[in-house]
């Protein structure tokens, strides 16, 4: 996917956002933050997208990784699983972010221009599960690796350090 969007493309995306927001309000949908840590990720916050910030050359908040768009199907679990496997390349990305109800972005760092915003600004229901939040208009619902996977590495690293330390005595 190109790092730059045409004016027409951005307008179409914005109109989709407005339509989806209106439908969600009309149906009384109140999506919630996904709090399960089953995929090894935990909720990190609502962050702004950086493509429209001067000086970023169109770079994304979660740049340098992989992404996928699943119209009508995206869920938090789907995005986390995608980032956990690097979209099939076997790489485990540190961050999983959802935007515009259908986009999943994976990266190992958040661009410095991106800032944490109030959770209420990430308010679009996921197109694949309307009870979950999948970002917002130029806002990402971000999850960070660390629920089970990082803890496991920490324990393993501690065991190796103790073992090496004892062998040195």
The predicted-structure confidence for 54-90, as pLDDT tens digits, reads as follows 999 999 999 999 999 999 999 999 999 999 999 999 9
In a domain, residue 1? The reply is no
In a domain, residue 2? The reply is no
Write out residues in the chain with pLDDT < 50, as ranges: 1-5, 10, 13-15, 17-28, 148-169
| Structural domain containing residue 146 | 7-168
Please give the tally of structural domains in the chain: 1
In a domain, residue 161? The reply is yes
pTM metric for this prediction: 0.69
Q: How far is CA 67 from CA 3, 23, 141, 142, in A?
A: 12, 26, 14, 13
In a domain, residue 162? The reply is yes
What pLDDT sits at residue 33? 79
């Amino acid at each position: 996917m190109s790092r730059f969007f045409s004016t027409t493309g951005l307008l179409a995306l914005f109109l989709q956002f407005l339509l989806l927001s209106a439908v969600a309000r009309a149906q009384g949908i109140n999506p919630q933050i996904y709090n399960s840590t089953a995929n090894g990720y935990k909720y990190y916050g609502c962050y702004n997208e950086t493509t429209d910030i001067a000086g970023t050359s169109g770079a994304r908040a979660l740049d340098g990784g992989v992404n996928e768009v699943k119209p009508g199907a995206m869920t938090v679990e789907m995005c986390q699983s995608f980032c956990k496997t690097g979209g099939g390349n076997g790489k485990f990305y540190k961050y999983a972010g959802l935007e515009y109800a259908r986009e999943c972005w994976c990266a190992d760092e958040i661009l410095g221009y991106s800032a944490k915003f109030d959770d209420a600004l990430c308010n679009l229901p996921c197109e694949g599960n309307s009870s979950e939040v999948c970002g917002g208009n130029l806002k990402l619902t971000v999850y960070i690796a660390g629920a089970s996977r990082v803890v496991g590495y920490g324990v393993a690293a501690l065991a190796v350090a103790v073992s090496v330390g004892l062998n040195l005595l």
